[in-house]
Chain A
């Protein structure tokens, strides 16, 4: 079948590049005791030990699920809070001139400040520990959602308001029947970017002195020169972030079947 073949082909092509990278990694590191970067086989062994134990039986054995759960809950928790704040705020800024004039300039000024720059302040305000991590993840997800929501509710085609008005849909009803659905693709893009950023800042967020989390073990393993654990953490973040993005895309495809660029 043609579609089956083209799917297989794109899967093979997608795998070819990482396999080449893996081969280069293997060739350059294997059999060199002085190498600071462990070879792939060693990382694989460590990954299995982290997940299931029974290989090294050290402090890290069989702890992956704890760290994974901690990070996932912070990412989704921070993301959910960002949604809760950014969606209504974005709609208000986008549709209410007074709110826009009041808040938008401040947000534009704060937006270029990188999340990492907030780290020391977050630790002072929220203390060492999970609350700071949560805040930083929130901040990372907040701006993309906010900016795209504002854009979405502001860029509704004027024609659609006219069409709604002459069909008898006026005033605040237009917000729910025209503005929201029209802004949905943008809002969705913001959510996708926001969730992506939440995964990006999780490592920074977990540098704030928390005991668990993928970011936390990466930082800890770095101090112990356990580079194989660092790489394991990176791999798990990559895969989990990827799966989480795929999930959002799946939801988007169902919700936005009407949109030529999403459906």
Chain B
């Protein structure tokens, strides 16, 4: 028998049209994307290119207007724990402390108290927030909040991590630390990551594969396999070549889009 493994995520000819004030807005057209288990994919493009729409379709927050949106071959009909979303604005529950935020998912799914405690202990340790277990979100820095957001989807057995410009609101130092930590977590856990960004360097640093998207209407332009060895050195010549290539690719669309 031929070795056929299903992709964890498969989007075929995916399109999304929103109705806004009586007008139809085409956010995404004909997107094809296949993600294998364990891959780290970055979606990059200018605003309005549909990268967030694509991520929200994968999450199940939106339903596609056309095309197939499949996880392990089955249609995605709504949000669920297998696809954990990390929002740019964190989306933590302000009335729960760090511990209860991380335990929210397991509790929703009816895990026992001792199971929840073990899970929370494990993932609070993974993101290094043991000392902040009893602290409420408003007392945390942005970087810490995003660590909690990552821990809470991991504690909930997410197979796929969907990240919508998760580090976009953080300062440069914190951002780099979290990028390192994310790669570390990813390589240890075998997670699949779909990561939206508008920063070229971030995409090259993180991704196995960079998917370039362009606006008007939002669509997938092309894909690049980033073959740089990890850990990646952002100062290396090869890294810079990638940076130049992707920058040229992205900017060419800006030029073409005019009008």
Binding site for B on A (CB under 8 A): 159-160, 162-170, 173, 177-178, 181-182, 184, 257-260, 263
**A159 CA to B84 CA in the complex, in Å?**
14
Question: Known contacts A162-B85, A260-B138; is A167 also within 8 Å of B108 by CB?
Answer: yes
Q: CA A245 – CA B54 in complex, angstroms?
A: 51
Which residues in B have their C-beta under 8 angstroms from that of A257? 136
* A166/B108 contact (C-beta < 8 A), A159-B89, A160-B93 known: no
Is B216 in the interface zone, CB < 8 Å from A?
no
B108 touches A162 (CB 8 A): no
Query: Which residues of chain A are within 8 angstroms of B84 by Cβ–Cβ distance?
Result: 166-167
B48 at the interface (CB under 8 A from A): no
| Cβ-defined partner of B91 (8 Å) among A160, A169, A177, A259 | A160
Interface flags for B46-89 (1: CB within 8 Å of A; 0: not) read: 00000000000001110000000000000000111101110101
Complex interface residues of chain B between 139 and 153 (CB less than 8 A to chain A): 152-153
Q: Which residues of B contact A167 (CB under 8 A)?
A: 81, 84, 104-105, 108, 152-153, 156
B85 touches A163 (CB 8 A): yes
Contact A165 B78 (CB under 8 A): yes
- Please indicate which of the listed interface residues B61, B79, B89 has the most CB atoms of chain A within 10 Å of its own CB: B79
The answer to whether B95 touches A163 (Cβ under 8 A) is: no
Contact A166 B104 (CB under 8 A): no
Contacts of B156 in A (CB 8 A): 167-168
Interface of B is mostly: loop
A167 to chain B, nearest CB (A): 4
Query: Least Cβ distance of A170 to chain B in Å?
Result: 8
Q: Please give me the residue from chain B that is nearest to A166 by CB atom.
A: B79
Q: Is B96 an interface residue when CB atoms closer than 8 A count as contact? A: yes
Q: Judge whether B79 and A162 touch: CB under 8 Å.
A: yes
Besides A162-B61, A163-B92, A259-B94, 19 other A-B contacts (C-beta < 8 A): A159-B87, A160-B91, A162-B91, A163-B85, A163-B87, A163-B93, A164-B108, A165-B78, A166-B79, A166-B83, A167-B105, A167-B152, A169-B105, A173-B108, A177-B108, A181-B93, A181-B95, A181-B96, A182-B94
B95 near A259 with CB under 8 A, answer: yes
B221 adjacent to chain A (CB < 8 Å):
no
Q: Does B109 contact A (CB under 8 A)?
A: yes
> Quick one: closest B residue to A184, CB to CB?
B95
- Contact assessment for A168 and B138 in the assembled complex, using a CB-CB cutoff below 8 Å: no
Q: Which residues of A contact B109 (CB under 8 A)?
A: 168
With a cutoff of 8 Å between Cβ atoms, the chain A residues found around residue B89 in the complex are 159
Chain B stretch 92-124: residues in CB contact (< 8 A) with chain A: 92-97, 104-105, 108-109
Q: Which of A159, A167, A173 has the most CB of B within 10 A?
A: A167
Is A168 in contact with B97, judged by CB distance below 8 angstroms? no
Contact yes or no, A169 B108, CB < 8 A: yes
What is the minimal beta-carbon distance from B151 to any residue of chain A, in angstroms?
12
Q: Could you write out 15 A-B pairs with CB less than 8 Å apart?
A: A159-B89, A162-B85, A162-B87, A165-B78, A166-B81, A166-B84, A167-B108, A168-B108, A168-B156, A169-B105, A170-B79, A173-B108, A258-B94, A258-B97, A259-B138
Which of the listed residues B59, B81, B84, B95 has the most CB atoms from chain A within 10 Å of its own CB? B95
The interface residues of chain A lying within 8 Å CB-to-CB of B152 are: 167
Q: Which of B80, B85, B93 contacts A168 (CB 8 A)?
A: B80
Q: Given that A162-B79, A258-B96, A260-B138 are known contacts, is A168 also in contact with B105, CB under 8 Å in the complex?
A: yes
| Known interface pairs A167-B152, A168-B80, A258-B136; A159-B91 also in contact (CB < 8 Å) | yes
* A163 cross-chain contacts in B, Cβ below 8 A: 85, 87, 91-93
Alpha-carbon distance A171/B94, docked complex (angstroms) = 20
Which residues on A sit within 8 Å (CB–CB) of B91? 159-160, 162-163
Q: How far is the CA of A163 from the CA of B79 in the complex (A)?
A: 9
Q: Within the assembled complex, what's the spacing in Å between the Cα atoms of A58 and B92?
A: 64
CA distance A157 to B136 in the complex (A): 17
Who on chain B is nearest to A169 by CB? B108
Q: A residues within 8 A CB of B97?
A: 258
Closest B residue to A165 by CB, please name it.
B79
Determine the chain A residues whose CB is within 8 A of the CB of B95 once the complex forms: 181-182, 184, 258-259
Measured in the bound complex, the distance between the Cα atoms of B93 and A164 in whole Å is 9
Instruction: For the complex formed, measure the closest distance between the CB of B85 and the CB atoms of chain A, giving whole angstroms.
Output: 5
A160–B87 Cα distance when bound, in Å, is 11
Q: How far is the CA of A177 from the CA of B152 in the complex (A)?
A: 16
Name A157's closest neighbour in chain B (CB-CB). Answer: B91
- Report B185-205 CB contacts with A as 1/0, cut-off 8 Å: 000000000000000000000
Distance (Å) between the CB of B107 and the closest chain A CB? 8
List B contacts of A160 (CB < 8 A): 91, 93
What chain B residues lie within 8 Å of A173 (beta carbons)? 108
Name the B residues within 8 Å of A178 (CB-CB): 93
Q: Which residue of chain B lies nearest to A255 when distances are taken between CB atoms in the complex?
A: B95
**The 7 A-B residue pairs with the shortest CB-CB distance in the complex, in nearest-first order:** A167-B105, A169-B108, A163-B91, A165-B79, A166-B79, A258-B136, A181-B95
